[in-house]
Amino acid sequence: MPEMMPTALLFFLAAAILPVLPQYLRALLLLAVPVLAGIILWNIPEGMLAQVGFMGLELEFMRIDSLSRIFALIFCLAAFLGNLYAWHVRDRVQQVAGLIYSGSAIGAVLAGDLITLFLFWEGTAIASVFLIWARRTEGAYHTGLRYLIIQIGSGVILLAGAVLYHAETGNFVFERMQLGSPATWLIFLSFGIKCAFPLLHNWLQDAYPAATVTGTVILSAFTTKLAVYALARGFAGTEILIYIGAAMTLFPIFYAVIENDLRRVLAYSLNNQLGFMVVGVGIGTELALNGTAAHAFAHILYKALLFMSVGAVLFRTGTAKGSELGGLYKTMPLTMVFCVVGAASISAFPLFSGFISKSLILSASVKEHYYIVWAVLLFASAGVFHHSGIKIPYFAFFAHDSGKRPKEAPPHMLLAMAITAFFCVYIGVNPEPLYALLPYEVKYEPYTTTHVVTQLQLLFFSALAFTVLMRTGIYPPELKSVNLDFDWTYRKAGPAILRYLRAVAGASGAYLGSVLSGWAIGIFHRFQHSTGPEGRLAQSWPTGAMVLWIAILLGVTLVVSFLS
């Protein structure tokens, strides 16, 4: 098999020359690179195409198979759409970071060994944080630091697991593993952090809404889906993932319903959608893994479309808070239409992309007799319609009239949203081209009467429940508030506990010091009473008594010497 240049290198070379180019060439380069990379990945054959020897290791930079190809292709498409959406950005830092970030994600997907995976894994972490810092606020700076610590920590854990895995197996090949050793558990934990497993998820809701308008769109596409790919590659069929994924689909629903910041709502919704993919990986059958890959592909598009529409609202109004928006359909009608398309897609309406991808995972769960998990996923689907399908467009465009009359989104943003919306509808209407890209042969018909009717009933009753809750005033209002999540334990409670323990330790130390000091002074006084100038030992002793003491000491010395 002939060697070829790693596709990720295209992005890195572009990032190296971009700062010296004029703006119009920079913008063209940002669009050309992902298109060129996509064409290459579409046409190259399967196999190991770029192997490099390094310090006695054989690093594999281009493993092309059906699983890696579909993720690499959607990453290229996401990079193109994100860069088109960010056409107006003049900030070289964001442009370079975006190229390195997307290139690293593609490089990680194509990695054939754990060391290469680690290198690109850390590349995504380091590059992506600049999309948060580019907002240039104090809050974004601290959020970026927290994000970087967690992402770098994930990489360190991955490296530790890779080293132990090499000690166990004698190789670094990135292939399917079995949980049961410290090495595989460490690698699993590393993937789980990046995939935002429950209790490890808060970096996502913390960081993504803190990024720039365009940075959030780019962030939403790569990191978590890279983790889904890594789980599908390394731990397909690991049953614990089924229950982790089911939990991931549930808990974000309740946070998303009460959240005021619409970008944070979408971040929770992203966590929820990842749960469906993780369930598919856990089931591990061909149908389930096809569902995971298809849902990741569709999710990147419709989630980007939702972040684009909310980002356009933020760009024009300066806020993404539901309590401060409403009535924007009057002056931003196209953005509203694209938002509704994204909402319909994530809600899995028939004829939209989410319907033909999510149904694969639901069918796989029933086929393998995970009926409770199937019911959980069905409930989670209704919840998605509530917080993303209805809440996002309703509170941004149709709720109370906020009085804001912003201009429509810029043309390049509208074009990016239009292309993304087209894919959301096209995939939903004609899923066969997507199914042809999936890792295994697809023998599945999503548009059966039972499936369509079941899904429509679910959506209509969910809409009815939302209407009743709104009319009766039971639905949580959009309030200016901060919701407490698990990160409160280490951001607020943890430091407070440490301060308390430090205060207790300081007070205990002071008390113990005073007690010891009192004892020491007492002992000193007693010693001084005996040996001081006025003490007993300072008095004149008779010669006979002195001779007696010397004899006693000599005797003790002789006894000790004899015994030793």
Q: What is the pLDDT of residues 254-293, one digit of tens each?
A: 888 888 889 999 999 999 999 999 999 999 999 999 999 9
Asked if residue 563 belongs to a domain, the reply is no
Place of tokens 């990160």: 487
Domain count, the chain: 2
CB 320 within 8 A of CB 210: no
Stretch 232-253: mean pLDDT: 93
488 contact partners, CB below 8 Å, separation of at least 6: none
Read off the pLDDT of residues 485-522 as tens digits, 9 standing for 90 and up.
677 777 777 778 878 888 888 788 778 877 777 777 77
What is the rounded distance in angstroms from the CA atom of residue 360 to the CA atom of residue 280? Answer: 9
Residues 393 and 251 placed together within one structural domain of the fold: yes
The candidate with the shortest Cα–Cα distance to 356, out of 448, 226, 227, 458, is 448
CB 231 within 8 A of CB 244: no
Q: Is the pLDDT of residue 538 over 60?
A: no
Residues 226 and 344 placed together within one structural domain of the fold: no
Stretch 378-397: mean pLDDT: 86
Predicted confidence at residue 551, as pLDDT, reads: 77
CA-based torsion, 389, 393, 395, 400: positive or negative: negative
Of 233, 259, 280, the one marking the end of a domain is: 233
Chain-wide mean pLDDT for the chain?
88
CB 131 within 8 A of CB 219: yes
Asked if residue 550 belongs to a domain, the reply is no
The candidate with the shortest Cα–Cα distance to 288, out of 238, 214, 250, 218, is 238
Asked if residue 511 belongs to a domain, the reply is no
For the entire predicted model, the pTM comes to 0.86
Asked if residue 502 belongs to a domain, the reply is no
Asked if residue 518 belongs to a domain, the reply is no
Of 496, 520, 537, the one marking the end of a domain is: 496
Go through 21-43 and write b for each residue having 16 or more CB atoms within 10 A of its CB, e for each that does not. eeeeebbebbeebbeebbebbee
CB 144 within 8 A of CB 207: yes
Residues 291 and 142 placed together within one structural domain of the fold: no
What is the rounded distance in angstroms from the CA atom of residue 307 to the CA atom of residue 288? Answer: 27
Residues 292 and 193 placed together within one structural domain of the fold: no
Residues 71 and 210 placed together within one structural domain of the fold: yes
Read off the pLDDT of residues 8-67 as tens digits, 9 standing for 90 and up.
999 999 999 999 999 889 989 999 999 999 999 999 988 877 777 777 777 888 899 999
What is the rounded distance in angstroms from the CA atom of residue 282 to the CA atom of residue 288? Answer: 8
| Segments forming the whole domain that contains residue 445 | 236-496
Read off the pLDDT of residues 50-93 as tens digits, 9 standing for 90 and up.
777 777 777 888 899 999 999 999 999 999 999 999 999 999 99
pLDDT bin (cut points 50, 70, 90) of residue 2 is very low
Predicted confidence at residue 515, as pLDDT, reads: 79
Asked if residue 429 belongs to a domain, the reply is yes
Q: By percentage, how much of the chain surpasses pLDDT 70?
A: 91
Residues 121 and 195 placed together within one structural domain of the fold: yes
- How many other CB atoms are there within 10 angstroms of residue 101's CB atom? 29
Stretch 121-127: mean pLDDT: 95
Asked if residue 376 belongs to a domain, the reply is yes
Residues 169 and 196 placed together within one structural domain of the fold: yes
- How many other CB atoms are there within 10 angstroms of residue 430's CB atom? 12
Residues 227 and 246 placed together within one structural domain of the fold: no
Residues 217 and 242 placed together within one structural domain of the fold: no
Residues 168 and 248 placed together within one structural domain of the fold: no
Residues 229 and 254 placed together within one structural domain of the fold: no
Residues 225 and 329 placed together within one structural domain of the fold: no
Phi, then psi, of 179 in degrees rounded to 5: -65, 140
Phi, then psi, of 440 in degrees rounded to 5: -125, 160
CA 107 to chain centre: 18
Q: Is the pLDDT of residue 300 over 90?
A: yes
Asked if residue 533 belongs to a domain, the reply is no
pLDDT bin (cut points 50, 70, 90) of residue 387 is confident
Of 173, 200, 233, the one marking the end of a domain is: 233
* Residue 458: burial class (beta carbons within 10 Å; 0-12, 13-18, 19+): middle
